[in-house]
Structure 1
Amino acid sequence: MNDTRPQKGPATSSGRPAREGPAAGSPAVDRALMLLDTLAEGDGLSLSELGRRLGLAPSTVHRLLGALAARRLAEVDPATQLWGVGPGAFRLGAAFLRRGGLAERARPVLAQLAEASGETAVLAVADGDSALVVAEVPGTSSLRAVLPPGTRLPYHATAPGKALIAHLPLAQVRALLGRAPLPALTGRSITDQGELTADLATLRHGGWLTERGESAVGQNGIAAPVFGGAGDPVAALGLAGPSTRLDDAALAALGPQLAEAAAVLGAALGGPARHLSPAAQGR
Structure 2
Amino acid sequence: MSDRPPARARGRPRAEPASDTAGVRIKALDRGLALLERVAEEGAATLKVLAAASDMAPSTAHRVLETLRCRGLVDFDAAAQTWSIGVEAFCIGHAYARRSDYLEAGRQAMRDLTDQTGETSNIAVIERHDVVHVSQVETRAPIRAFLPPGTRGLPQASGIGKALLAHMPPERAERMLGDQPWPRFTANTITSASELHAALDGIRRRGWAVDDEERHPGMRCIAAPIFNVFEEAIAGLSVSGPTARIDDAAIEPLGDAVHAAAARVTAHIGGRRPSSG
Match of 2:178 in 1: 178
Compute the displacement of 1:211 (Å): 1.2
Compute the displacement of 1:213 (Å): 0.6
Compute the displacement of 1:255 (Å): 1.2
Compute the displacement of 1:271 (Å): 1.0
Residues 212 and 221 in structure 2, CA contact (< 8 A), matched pair in contact too: yes
3-state SS of the aligned residue for 2:133? strand
Unaligned runs of 5+ in 2: 1-70, 78-96
Give the number of the structure with larger relative contact order, counting CA–CA contacts within 8 Å between residues 6 or more apart.
2
Residues 227 and 273 in structure 2, CA contact (< 8 A), matched pair in contact too: no
Match of 2:167 in 1: 167
What is the one-letter code of the residue matched to 2:165? I
**Does 2:122 correspond to 1:122?**
yes
Compute the displacement of 1:105 (Å): 2.2
What is the one-letter code of the residue matched to 1:171? E
For 2:122 and 2:98, how far apart are their aligned partners in 1?
14
| Equivalent runs, 1:269-280 vs 2, <5 Å | 269-272=269-272
TM-score for the superposition, normalised by structure 1:
0.61
Residues 153 and 160 in structure 1, CA contact (< 8 A), matched pair in contact too: no
Match of 1:267 in 2: 267
3-state SS of the aligned residue for 2:155? coil
| Equivalent runs, 1:126-141 vs 2, <5 Å | 126-141=126-141
For 1:216 and 1:253, how far apart are their aligned partners in 2?
22
Match of 2:105 in 1: 105
Residues 263 and 274 in structure 1, CA contact (< 8 A), matched pair in contact too: no
3-state SS of the aligned residue for 1:168? coil
Q: 1:119 to 1:163 in 2, by over 3 A?
A: same
Match of 2:209 in 1: 209
Compute the displacement of 1:104 (Å): 2.5
For 1:238 and 1:255, how far apart are their aligned partners in 2?
9
For 1:216 and 1:99, how far apart are their aligned partners in 2?
36
1:117-153 per-position Cα deviation (integer Å, ceiling 9, x unaligned): 1111000111110111111000120110101111113
Match of 1:240 in 2: 240
3-state SS of the aligned residue for 2:203? helix
Q: Among the aligned pairs, what percent are the same residue?
A: 36
For 1:245 and 1:168, how far apart are their aligned partners in 2?
31
3-state SS of the aligned residue for 1:187? coil
Match of 1:71 in 2: none
Match of 1:147 in 2: 147
For 1:149 and 1:111, how far apart are their aligned partners in 2?
16
Q: 1:134 to 1:100 in 2, by over 3 A?
A: farther
Match of 1:230 in 2: 230
What is the one-letter code of the residue matched to 2:168? L
Residues 157 and 214 in structure 2, CA contact (< 8 A), matched pair in contact too: yes
1:76-135 per-position Cα deviation (integer Å, ceiling 9, x unaligned): xxxxxxxxxxxxxxxxxxxxx999853232111000111111111000111110111111
TM-score for the superposition, normalised by structure 2:
0.62
Compute the displacement of 1:2 (Å): 4.1
Residues 134 and 149 in structure 2, CA contact (< 8 A), matched pair in contact too: yes
Residues 102 and 265 in structure 2, CA contact (< 8 A), matched pair in contact too: no
Residues 109 and 261 in structure 1, CA contact (< 8 A), matched pair in contact too: yes
Match of 2:41 in 1: none
Compute the displacement of 1:179 (Å): 2.0
For 1:224 and 1:102, how far apart are their aligned partners in 2?
13
Q: 1:269 to 1:180 in 2, by over 3 A?
A: same
Residues 163 and 224 in structure 1, CA contact (< 8 A), matched pair in contact too: yes
Q: 1:273 to 1:169 in 2, by over 3 A?
A: closer
What is the one-letter code of the residue matched to 2:124? A
For 1:197 and 1:110, how far apart are their aligned partners in 2?
29
What is the one-letter code of the residue matched to 1:176? M
Q: 1:206 to 1:182 in 2, by over 3 A?
A: same
Q: 1:220 to 1:148 in 2, by over 3 A?
A: same
Match of 1:187 in 2: 187
Residues 114 and 140 in structure 1, CA contact (< 8 A), matched pair in contact too: no
Number of aligned positions between the proteins: 186
Residues 115 and 140 in structure 1, CA contact (< 8 A), matched pair in contact too: no
Measured on the aligned residues, the alpha-carbon RMSD in Å equals: 2.6
3-state SS of the aligned residue for 2:206? coil
